[in-house]
Amino acid sequence: MAWAAVLAMVGIGKNQRPEAIFLDAVGTLFGIRGNVGEIYGNFAAQAGVIVDSTQLDQAFMISFSQAPKLNSSLAMGEELVALERAWWESVAAKSFAAVGALGEFPNFSAFFQTLFDHFALADPWYVYEDVQQVLASWQQMGIRLGVLSNFDSRLYPVLEALKLADFFDSVTISTHVGAAKPDPDIFKIALEHYDLEPIQAWHIGDSWSEDVVGAERAGLGAIWLNRTGKSTPRPGVAFKVVTRLTELSL
């Protein structure tokens, strides 16, 4: 039986509010200004390396999609941040190599450090216009709110910089817990913050493969935030499909 049908039988989404709602970060709460290729290209130009931003963005998407999941929990503190940075540097290096520009940097690691630090600031991000209104409303209802993301430790300063941190009781990051979406373990760990059963919570995200499939497998109410109006890959998997958070009524 599809999970949406199970939720309907117990009343969640109709007569019963979830006890907790988890939300993905990038693509759900906030988006990137322009695209990665443009940002990488602008920083490269400042370093004297000229690249085609469109080609670089395409190369980044391929490099990012082919990289292993960033989900190590074997380190803490500065050691963990170093591992996260090394992971992203590898993705970036392969992106620049794909467009024939990697060898033009006299010290790519030094260049990348500036780039890495930039994404911990508010500058490259923007908050979707429906986010703060909905979060404030849910918070006033007494619903517990958490972030559940495959991002990295920079998520904490980004949430602060974007004035979103105060909405959330918990932040569950793949690198901190050793599991990345769609692994059900990361959802189970997030639920432990509130001592809840999966059926008592929703997860909202923009990625079908990570957010919807992962949440559904873990037993949460999986809500697909389909901001761009893509076709639903497999009907009946998501509990709800919305284009804006304001479409969710509680």
233 in the same domain as 159: yes
Global pTM value: 0.89
Looking at 83, 118, 153, the residue that finishes a domain is 118
143 in the same domain as 195: yes
pLDDT at position 72, please?
62
pLDDT at position 13, please?
43
| Residue carrying the six token digits 């998407």 | 61
pLDDT at position 10, please?
43
Angle among Cα 152, 130, 132 to the nearest 5 degrees reads: 65
240 in the same domain as 161: yes
Contact 82, 113 (CB under 8 A): no
Per-residue pLDDT of the chain (250 residues; tens, 9 = 90+): 454 444 444 444 434 789 999 999 999 999 999 999 999 999 999 999 999 999 999 999 999 999 887 766 566 778 888 989 999 999 999 999 999 999 999 999 999 999 999 999 999 999 999 999 999 999 999 999 999 999 999 999 999 999 999 999 999 999 999 899 999 999 999 999 999 999 999 999 999 999 999 999 999 999 999 999 999 888 888 889 999 999 998 8
140 in the same domain as 235: yes
216 in the same domain as 158: yes
Looking at 95, 118, 141, the residue that finishes a domain is 118
Q: What is the CATH number of the domain that holds 17?
A: 3.40.50.1000
What residues does 145 pair with on adjacent strands?
Answer: 21
pLDDT at position 75, please?
61
Looking at 64, 98, 118, the residue that finishes a domain is 118
pLDDT at position 68, please?
84
Q: What is the CATH number of the domain that holds 66?
A: 1.10.150.720
Q: Which of 43, 39, 41, 20 is nearest to 31 (CA)?
A: 39
* Counted domains in the chain: 2
> Residue 145 is part of which domain span?
3-32+125-247
